[in-house]
């Protein structure tokens, strides 16, 4: 996986009034592959060398993918979401580069994430939807303060196809990112987990584990779900 930093131009704002230098971070550390037609991406944050409210403009490009950035400008403490969708028909196994650039006046920072594109069918969405429904009904009953109900609109996508044994699916609402993962094993090792990230945060703040997929799916009831430590970064 390629990961490099390029910073050019700009001067410190102490003498010439030039732009204040900044650093930029992408999360997660790796994009674990991308399936054609299925959105994935990274989160972007900045840190300033000197205190300032001046925003940084974020742009991103991938040859062979549609890319969006929201919002297009961020200041310290804010998060930009970069989403990429690999073009349909991309040759399986193609290596692609996501280049994210931050610019404040003439000071520029660029970071790259390299990843593999997979031309796969989404054979996990239906099962992921079943597990997600169980978690969602449990959250509605046990954590009403989150505002997640059966009426909350979520869009799902198949992410991290390069990770084996544990499958991953991503769900987005206006307020939440919910990352679903499940261990592709037989009981009693068939756990499933979700993490929750408020869309304005860079890392998950909550996580919950279902002890057995089979028991929950067979009974169509959430079963035994418990809170677990939230991961330090999202999965893509």
pLDDT of residue 18: 80
Is the domain covering 5-118 a CATH 3.40.50.720 domain? no
Q: What is the pLDDT along the chain (236 residues), one digit of tens a residue?
A: 333 344 434 434 444 568 899 999 999 999 999 999 999 999 999 999 999 999 999 999 999 999 999 999 999 999 999 999 999 999 999 999 999 999 999 999 999 999 999 999 999 999 999 999 999 999 999 999 999 999 999 999 999 999 999 999 999 999 999 999 999 998 889 999 999 999 999 999 999 999 999 989 988 887 789 999 999 999 99
Q: What is the pLDDT of residue 44?
A: 99
| Whole-prediction pTM | 0.91
pLDDT at res. 220: 84
The DSSP string of 152-168 is S--EEEEE-TT--SEEE
For 202, the token pair is: 């860079």
- What pLDDT, on a 0 to 100 scale, did the predictor assign at position 121? 92
Q: How far is CA 11 from CA 5, 48, 100, 171, in A?
A: 18, 13, 21, 41
- Return the pLDDT at 221: 81
Give domain limits for the chain.
5-118, 125-227
Identify whether the C-beta of residue 18 lies closer than 8 Å to the C-beta of residue 47: no
pLDDT of residue 11: 36
């Amino acid at each position: 996986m390629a990961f490099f930093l390029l910073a050019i131009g700009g001067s410190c704002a102490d003498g010439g009034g030039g732009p204040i230098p900044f650093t930029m971070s992408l999360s997660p550390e790796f994009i674990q592959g991308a399936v054609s037609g299925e959105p994935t991406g990274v989160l972007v944050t900045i840190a300033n060398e000197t205190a300032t409210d001046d925003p940084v403009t974020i742009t991103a490009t991938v040859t062979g993918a549609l890319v969006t950035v929201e919002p297009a400008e961020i200041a310290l403490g804010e998060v930009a979401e970069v989403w990429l969708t690999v073009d349909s028909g991309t040759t399986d196994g193609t290596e692609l580069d996501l280049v994210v650039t931050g610019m404040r006046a003439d000071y520029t920072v660029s970071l790259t994430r390299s990843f593999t594109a997979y031309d796969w069918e989404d054979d996990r969405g239906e099962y992921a939807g079943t597990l997600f429904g169980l978690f969602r009904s449990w959250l509605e009953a046990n954590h009403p303060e989150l505002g997640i109900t059966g009426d909350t609109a979520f869009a799902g996508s198949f992410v991290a196809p390069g990770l084996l044994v544990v499958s991953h699916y991503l769900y987005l609402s206006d307020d939440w990112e919910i990352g679903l993962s499940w261990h592709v094993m037989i009981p009693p090792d068939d756990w499933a987990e979700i993490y929750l990230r408020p869309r304005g945060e860079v890392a998950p703040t909550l996580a919950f584990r279902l002890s057995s997929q089979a028991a929950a799916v067979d009974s169509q009831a959430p079963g035994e779900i418990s809170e677990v430590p939230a991961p330090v970064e999202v999965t893509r």
